[in-house]
Amino acid sequence: MNYKIALIRGDGIGPEIIDSTCQMLDKTGQIYGFTFEYRDVLAGGRAIDECGVPLPEGALDICLQSDSVLLGAVGGPKWDNLPGHLRPERALLGVRKGMELFANLRPARLMPMLKDASPLRSEIAAKGFDIMIVRELTGGIYFGKSGRYDSPDGETAFDTETYSVNEIRRIGKVAFETARKRRKLVTSIDKANVLESSRLWRETIHELAAEYPDVELRDMLVDNAAMQLVLNPAQFDVIVTSNIFGDILSDEASQLTGSIGLLPSASLGATTRGLYEPIHGSAPDIAGQNLANPIATVLSAAMMLRLSFGLTEAADAIETAVDEVLAAGLRTKDIARGGPHIGSDAMTRALLDQLR
């Protein structure tokens, strides 16, 4: 089997972490009997330099004609002062919209060997946690009607949270299907004590739950969820929530792991084609210095093998290699906490050596 992968190497450390990840993918393919054909997509800051726009014509087509998209990161200080429509991040919005990606999956796992890096109290960190946050990505207040008007109180602004049953059902399905492959618990987070859109969210998720009798459903209000993540994160398996609540809670959860250089993400739509990327940015402060931690991107590729291509064994092999390298005490600078560390190249070699 040959898989076509669109590569958005991007800016800053993007090209370095994508290079490491392609080496891991190629070796996984050799072991498990498949190949990858990579297609470069020019997007982000480099595209602005070369073509004058963040997402040149044809770039999205390559993504749509591939089996999946792997992204490093885009952006950097060089392009910070451009007008909004010319910023590198616009490329990502364009790709996400063009691929109709409505579900964002962000795992936040506290690995036992890295629990000292967590800001949580030691007795809470000792229990560890393994959470998958499923965030709705194309609806809600970020896409609802907004505006400004004059009122007797002065200039007034508004944003609107809107959700339809269809939007809630399709993100709910992703959450229940994901939970089926994990510990079979979905926590749906809303603000149903105040918001009408949350009441529709809750009703719809409960109706959907009847189709998944093997999965337990719990409701939680978002203010309580923000507290529970800090007090007892081990209680969560899959969290499903709206765009704005997911934005905030997934950043909170990722900080609890203490290491953003380790966290992958996936964005999915109605097809098996997805967009896979680390949650961190382009880290321009360390670009080109052999300091980038490739693990978040490598784990994003493992998510791609599992979720888009159904290659569970190969995905497990990559994740096991990461766990073993970390368990052996190897660290890039970002997770070394001032202790001894190795460069990106050496980390990539160690991961390749562990891959079986």
Please list the active-site residues: 142, 191, 223, 247, 251
Total residues at interface with ligand NAD (CB under 6 A) = 21
Among 7, 73, 256, 268, binds ligand NAD (CB under 6 A): 73
Among 161, 167, 319, 334, binds ligand NAD (CB under 6 A): 334
According to CB under 6 A, which residues from 1 to 20 bind ligand NAD? Answer: 13
Q: Does 315 bind ligand NAD (CB under 6 A)?
A: no
According to CB under 6 A, which residues from 229 to 288 bind ligand NAD? Answer: 260-261, 277, 280-286
Q: Cβ 69 to ligand NAD, closest distance in Å? A: 12
Q: Cβ 293 to ligand NAD, closest distance in Å? A: 3
Q: Does 292 bind ligand NAD (CB under 6 A)?
A: yes
* Residue in the block written with tokens 């680390």: 278
Q: Does 47 bind ligand NAD (CB under 6 A)?
A: no
Q: Cβ 172 to ligand NAD, closest distance in Å? A: 26
Which residues sit opposite 156 in a β-bridge?
149
Q: Cβ 334 to ligand NAD, closest distance in Å? A: 4
Q: Which residue is nearest to ligand NAD (CB)?
A: 281
Residues that bind ligand NAD (CB under 6 A): 13, 73-76, 89, 92, 260-261, 277, 280-286, 292-293, 296, 334
